[in-house]
Structure 1
Amino acid sequence: MSTGQIQFAEQDGMFVLKFLGDVRLTLCATLDYTIEKIFSALKFRAIIIDLTETSCIDSTSLGLLAKLSILSREKIGLLPTIVSDSEDISRLLLSMGFDQVFNLINGPAPCIDCADLPEQDVSEAEVKAKVLEAHKILMGLNANNRAAFSDLVHALEH
């Protein structure tokens, strides 16, 4: 089981996702559900992903964040913002090409009270499908990601 968690808040049209601890694929259904919830809202003016309390984030979670950015650009023309104050996390984001699909900010996150997201009960097949989708999205960001994740994607497809 994951030692991480994801929190969520909405205030005056600003949606905040706060990742805490070690965020892994066990939270992918929760994250994907929340992404759908954000885009079902009628009005919003900003999406902020707060990684200031994130110790580790896996590629599945990163792929779903890339999905969030792609949907945001397609549906409303908005580039979401990721806030990180960790050199390691920031370096990871840059290596994945996130500077192309997010506004990256190094510093403190906005002060908004977040509540824990409820975990989603999904089957192993649903988790596998989300992992596959997340990695395909990452592969689409740049050639380095394509090389890094092609074997995993091939294995999941077969």
Structure 2
Amino acid sequence: MNAGKIQAAGEHGDYRLKFTGDVRLTLCNSLDQFLDKMFKDPGFHSVLIDLTQTEGIDSTSLGMLAKLAVQAKKRFEYVPTIVSTNPDITRILLSMGFDRVFNLLETAEFEAVPLKEIVCETCSEQVVKGHVLNAHRTLMDLNERNREAFSELVKNLESK
């Protein structure tokens, strides 16, 4: 698998995130900072997540996406869209309950927008732990299956 990267663009309140390769928790701090900036945009009104070139994605990254969906709904009454053409990725999204908080598409036409890579910033172990914990709590709130799958991990992280 190719190393993961996240690219982004935002213009006039329209945002796009593109995940490529094997996306892991090492990118979560940078993604979290981008999401905070995006949601502070007074003109925000849409976000599209392109997973068409995603080869793998871990549960922390999925939790960050779930957080994006929860915040978009809560703050803007908006349901974001994910495009996934990889059946394995789509199966993961469905198993996590993403069809309840995202519009899931198998195809989409994209406007030619220059994307910039979100640079992976190093952060402390404590910050990473916080991202992992919050991401998994968010996933647990999506459905009972996730609650069962991640409750032990969350309990272990909380006790450390």
TM > 0.5 between the two? yes
Distance (Å, rounded) in 2 between the aligned partners of 1:120 and 1:77: 31
Q: Which runs of 5+ in 2 are unaligned?
A: none
* Contact 2:26 2:120 survives alignment (8 Å): no
1:149 aligns to 2:150 (yes or no): yes
Q: Quick check: 2:21–2:54 contact (8 Å CA) kept in 1?
A: yes
1:17 aligns with 2:3: no
Could you list the runs of 5+ residues in structure 1 that have no partner in the other structure? none
Q: CA RMSD in A?
A: 1.2
In 1, Cα distance between equivalents of 2:151 and 2:37: 30
Please tell me whether the aligned partners of residues 50 and 109 of structure 1 are also in contact (alpha carbons under 8 angstroms).
no
1:78 Cα deviation (Å)? 0.5
Give the Å deviation of 1:109: 5.0
- 1:1-150 to 2 correspondence within 5 Å? 3-108=3-108, 110-111=110-111, 112-150=113-151
Secondary structure of 1:69's aligned partner: helix
TM-score, scaled to structure 1: 0.95
What is the deviation of 1:122?
Answer: 1.3
Percentage identity across paired residues of the two chains: 49
Q: Do 2:140 and 2:151's aligned partners in 1 also have CA atoms closer than 8 Å?
A: yes
Letter in 2 for 1:136: R
CA deviations on 1:92-111 (whole Å, 9 max, x unpaired) are: 00000000000001014513
Q: Distance in 1 between matches of 2:102 and 2:132?
A: 21
